Each structure stands twice: as structure tokens, then as C-alpha cells.
Amino acid sequence: MPANLSPAFLAARDRLNRAKTDEERLDALQEMLATIPKHKGTEKMQADIRKRIAKLKEKAEQQRRSGKGGGPAYHVPREGAAQVALVGAPNAGKSALLVALTRAQPEVAPYPMSTLRPTPGMMEFEDVQIQLVDLPPITRDYTEGWVYSVVRLADAVALCVDLENPRGLAEAEEVMDLLAEHHTRLTPGPSRQVDWRVVERKAVVLGLKADLGGERVAAFRAWAEGRFPAIAVSAATGEGLDELRTFIFRHSGVVRVYTKKPGQPPDLTRPYTIREGATVLDVVEQIHKEFVSRLRYVRLWGSGRFDGQHAPQDHVVQDKDIVEIHLS
């Protein structure tokens, strides 16, 4: 290892190691080349960096020429209360579902591999919005790495199963296997980082094209039983779509909390949204960091037994709880 590597070089190298997309990799490599000390001892390293830059540039150029135009958007900034990634095998009906639930207009096509880029859409449910992200299908041969990155960064995952397809369940299993190979496990529990590499993502399974499902609908329910919350819907007939909105919100990993001022009715116009499992204290902190040190007590309505009583700071809030914060 050559000496005299500058802090800037080391930071860029660290960025390269953590990079999730080719764009980030290229960026980090170019910075490494710019900051590497230019002497005999680093010649081999310089050559290696140049080679990697050339490779990445060539790959980007190929993608541009093959008509993927403008390069895929790698990252989908979260909007709304939670971000839920729609994942599944080719032709499962993911894009049609996004069209049915949001105002987004991804391409829907009667052939597999029609979606090439992530397409977000906002799904309204009562007074909250959940961001759904339509993605290219997950297959062993064709899925680019950034698709897995988007799944890892989402709050929750909706695994889509094609009920028209006799192989629908087998393909869904394969999608789960591929996610696992990319260190992403689906779980009915909360999303969490397991270790430095592995993440678990809270998941539901959606049986799509229920209108064409026949006896596969029952097989789908049996398959999901005891593993993931499941629902069967049809984007074509609208069957189950209203329940689906509720279902997706309930399993998105967030809850709503309303606030009220002493002596006034609660403000039900705009909920705060916070991760499932959050405590009274977490809510107070989210509303205003400074409130934590000034907190005297919180009165709570909702959560079953609470009806305006003082709630312990570690009390876990439920959807639609109302809090009244008393400060010193």
C-alpha cells in the first residue's frame, strides 16, 4: 500500500465502497483519480482507477445507445408518509396497479419487461398519502443493481403475484430468493437493518389480476397464510382496490397521530405520521426537538384504555391517537 494517500482520497475511496449506483461509483472514482498522489508508487493504482472509470463510462454509453435514454433514475426521493416498493416478476401487473391507485402513468403492456425505470405515484388514503414506487421486474438475468437499491431504501415492500400465471407463486418465490441474494429479506415484522449488510423489509403480498385467478386465488391465500399479510385484487375490474388502500396503509409501517391544544378540540386536519412502534416521547420529539427537554406530561386519547389520561413517555402510540403536550 503506497504511503501519503490524502484524506480526500481516502474519503473518496470510502464513498466508492459504499456506493449503491454506477453513477455514485463513477463520481467517487473520478475524485480518487484527481486526489491520488502522482508518483511511481501509485502508478498501478492509477491505472486500475482509470480502467474502472473507462468501464463504467462504456456501460453508461451502451445503456444510452440501447435506448434507455437519459440513463435510469437510480434513486426515488421519499414523499408522503411512507414509501412502498412494488416488486414482482415480469408482467405481474405492477404498473397496472400503480395506474389504478395513483395518478401516475407508467407504461402498461401485455408483454414482460415493459417497465425500465422507477415510477413513483401517490396513493391517497383518508388523510394521508403513501408513495408507491413501480419498478422493473426482478429476474435473475435482467435486473440492474439499482432496482435492489430502491427496494432496500423503501420503507416497505409489496410483493406482487400474478394470479393469471400458473407459475405466479413460483416466480414470486424466485423474486424473494433474488432479494435475499441481494441481502434484502422480506418479513411480516417491522423493517430493520439486521447487520452491516442485511436488511429486512416489512412486506405484504398482493395477488394481482384476481379476475383471471380462478382457483389460484385460494392457492395464493394458502401460500401466504402465516407468512405475510395478503390480499387479492383486480386493477381491471376494481375488485378489492378500496380494501387495498386501507391494507397498504395499515402495513406501511407508519401510524397517524393528531395533536390538540388544552381546552380545544383536536386538530384533525393534518396528522403527524410516525413509524409504527414509536413512543409518546418519539412523537413529542418529532413535533419539536426542543419540546423534549421542556416536556411535563402528555395526555392521550385513543390507544384503547386511554381517554385523556397522562400517558407514560414510553407508551407506544397507535394509529389515530390524539396527544395533548404540556410543556414547562
Which of 240, 253 has the CB closer to ligand GTP?
Answer: 240
CA dist 12 and 313 (Å) reads 42
CB of 59 to Mg ion, least distance (A): 23
Task: Tell me: does residue 102 bind Mg ion (CB under 5 A).
Answer: no
Do β-strands 192-193 and 82-88 pair in parallel, antiparallel, or remain unpaired?
unpaired
CB of 117 to ligand GTP, least distance (A): 10
Select the span of 32-40, 107-115, 195-203, 308-316 touching Mg ion (CB under 5 A): 107-115
Which of 115, 303 has the CB closer to ligand GTP?
Answer: 115
CA dist 45 and 6 (Å) reads 14
The option from Mg ion, ligand GTP, none interacting with 209 (CB < 5 to 8 A, set by class) reads ligand GTP
The option from ligand GTP, Mg ion, none interacting with 112 (CB < 5 to 8 A, set by class) reads ligand GTP
CA dist 43 and 158 (Å) reads 48
Which of 98, 281 has the CB closer to ligand GTP?
Answer: 98
The interaxial angle of helices 168-181 and 216-224, nearest 10 deg, is 30
CB of 118 to ligand GTP, least distance (A): 11
Location of C-alpha cell 389460484: 216
Which of 42, 95 has the CB closer to Mg ion?
Answer: 95
Residues near 264 by beta carbon (within 8 Å), at least 6 away in sequence: none
HSE, CB side, 13 Å, CA atoms: give it for residue 322. 15
CB-based contact 114:95 (threshold 8 Å): yes
CB-based contact 306:322 (threshold 8 Å): no
Which of 128, 133 has the CB closer to Mg ion?
Answer: 133
CB of 109 to Mg ion, least distance (A): 7
The residues that touch ligand GTP, with contacts defined as CB under 6 A, are 88, 90-96, 108-110, 112-115, 137, 208-209, 211-212, 234-236
Select from 203, 178, 179, 183 the least CA-distant residue to 194: 183
Classified as helix, coil or strand, 127 is: coil
Select from 153, 113, 114 the least CA-distant residue to 133: 153
Binding mask 113-132 for Mg ion (x = CB under 5 A): -xx-----------------
Among 21, 42, 95, 102, binds Mg ion (CB under 5 A): 95
CB of 138 to ligand GTP, least distance (A): 9
Binding site residues, Mg ion, CB under 5 A: 94-95, 114-115
